[in-house]
Amino acid sequence: MLTTILNRLMDLFISENNEKADMDTKAKSLVVNLASLSFTLIVLAEGIWSLVEERVELAIPFLSLSFILAISHLYLRKYNSTLHQNYLLTALFVTCSFLIIFGGNTSIGIAWTFLFPFFATALRGRNSGLMWSLVLAAVIMIDFLLLQSLSPFLQSYEPGQGVYYLIIYLVSTIVAFAFQFIRSEVLLEKERIILDIQNRNKGQENLLSRLSHQIRTPLSNITGILDILESTQLDEEQKDAINTIHASANNLVNVVNNLVMASKNSMHESKDITNFNLYNTLNNVLRLFPYENYKVRLSLSLAPEVPGQLTGNSIKIKQILLNLINSIVKQGGQEQKQITLEVKKSQSMPDKVELVFRIISDFVYKHPKNDTHVNEGFYNYQDLVKLNAGKVINFLDLAITQKIIETDGHSLNIYTNPNNTIFEFGASFSTAVGNFIAPASAEPAKKTDNVFKAGIELNEASILIVEDNFSNQQIINLYLKNDVKNIDMAFNGKEALEKFGMAKYDLILMDVQMPVMDGFKATQKIRELERTTNTRVPIIAVTANAFPEDKEKCLASGMDDYISKPFQPDELLNKLRQYLNS
């Protein structure tokens, strides 16, 4: 109980501008505010005491110093740069020097100077902090040897007493330096570990990206041939064999897609953007839950200010909520469980609204017996909340759910209490119902600077396929040859440019990774050529790169759309019709 109160008290000393900063910045902010406030109170108390004792020679300097320190404390609550830290350190140095020379009302004001090395090294680091501390040590020695004998108003120290104070101060300096050294090494090691983890994760993502590309290319050929075989004359036994192979290929496609989703923090957000009724969507979540498998009671609570009709990704919200509820109830054993879903409005802007979804469950995370951090006083309150949240996410296997939430800049917050656990996340929606653009026409609508050709039917179209893999060329050709009037092939971007300059095409299917010239460069060159004619030929990327950022890169290079291998023939034909008829 006492540790919790102290942790919350320490949080109050962190500047408002540093609440979301890294731990090193937070630590400096804590030290700055703690030092300025504590010395302000000490000096103010000395000044008031001096007034009571009618010692004006001490009261005026002490009250003046307390005023300066108070101003610095209020100023540093908003500003915490190096200049402001030096200003505070100078004020503390002058205060400590005054306490050394005049001793204060108790004649042992020098004792407060033993804190100075800790503040100095924490604020300015080991080297600069040590220099500040040694300069103050020099002031102590000068006072002991010279100043105290100059005036009766100055504090006088016995020789043995002076040496004793000096030794304690030097020991404090050494301890402060050692503490800062250990802290710096710990932070440095932490940074090394974080960098190693990031590098390993980046390597794993690159490996997965390459594997995904290598798997999807032959998989696209397999599914393509199977689709063509299914349209031919087959007996029942052959059809069963083809269906079995097709089902296995589709399962492999799902495995690859799941790997992609689990390894990336982003999803295909442009899909599934619709107008929806929030209450109906949440009610469907409760209805979709398999009550027959678990003993659970679910309840729903919507705040009155929450809009009923929204525009956004309702499927994503369903997925997040179902994942959270399923993970909670699976860990609760056979006893009856109570789960409440609350929705409140966090903030709103014109045509935009931010909602907070909160799941309150009687699930209680039980810390392992070997968990030494349960009541660890080293952690402040906020760090302890994050630490417990990470343990619950790992225990309930919510890593993928957390990544889905983080796709649009939100976070999954988990608050563990003795009797319940609260899961909280935010989501942004549009309240301008009917003003959204379906993904099928979203990208073409952006290209308002160019003149498109008039709509053309697929059976009258001329299409250029740019693909370096001969097998892939043949598969796409088999997909299209019965529906398209003319099909030309190019094995790389350079060859595509040559063909584009010699013939007129109604649409281009562009691979991305190709020798000589890749699809991005080829698309940029084609768009440059089109500026002189004020026309625009739709270019659709056909590639095995399946990550969401790959689509963004394709669109940024000038392509109009993106289709990932493997795909169904109807999916490709529908996309072609969409752009040819627009």
Per-residue pLDDT reduced to its tens digit, 528-569: 888 888 888 999 998 877 666 677 788 888 898 888 877 778
Mean pLDDT value across residues 492-508: 92
Rounded to 10 degrees, the C-alpha dihedral 569/571/577/582 comes to -160
Report domain 439-581's class.
alpha beta
Q: Which pLDDT belongs to residue 20?
A: 47
The reported pLDDT for the residue numbered 409 is: 78
Residues 173 and 37: their CA atoms lie apart, in Å, by 21
Helix (H, G, I), strand (E, B) or coil at 104: coil
pLDDT one-digit tens code per residue, 87-106: 778 888 888 888 888 877 77
Rounded-to-integer distance, Cα 304 and Cα 424, Å: 19
**How deeply is 158 buried, as exposed, middle or buried, from its count of CB atoms within 10 A (0-12, 13-18, 19+)?**
exposed
| Common-topology check for domains 273-430 and 439-581 | no
Q: What is the pLDDT of residues 396-418, one digit of tens each?
A: 878 778 877 887 778 888 888 88
CA distance 7 to 548: 42
CB under 8 Å to 12, separation ≥6 — which residues? none
Q: Where are the domains of the chain?
A: 13-157, 201-263, 273-430, 439-581
Question: What pairing do the DSSP bridges indicate for beta strands 309-313 and 561-564?
Answer: unpaired
The rounded distance, in Å, linking the Cα atoms of 520 and 224 is: 25
Torsion sign (Cα): 505, 511, 517, 523: positive
Sign of the torsion formed by the C-alpha atoms of 110, 111, 112 and 115:
positive
Is the pLDDT at 115 greater than 80? The verdict is yes
* DSSP state at residue 455: P
Residue 239 pLDDT: 77
Is the predicted pLDDT of residue 448 greater than 60, yes or no? no
| CATH placement of domain 273-430 | 3.30.565.10
Which range, of 48-57, 394-403, 436-445, 502-511, averages the lowest pLDDT?
A: 436-445
pTM (predicted TM-score):
0.42
pLDDT at position 174 is 94
Closest CA to 320 of 277, 288, 362: 288
Decide if pLDDT at 171 tops 50: yes
Mean pLDDT of the residues in the chain: 77
Query: Does residue 14 or residue 440 have the better pLDDT?
Result: 14
- Higher pLDDT: 225 or 339? It is 339
577: Cβ contacts below 8 Å, ≥ 6 apart: 458
pLDDT beyond 60 at 579: yes
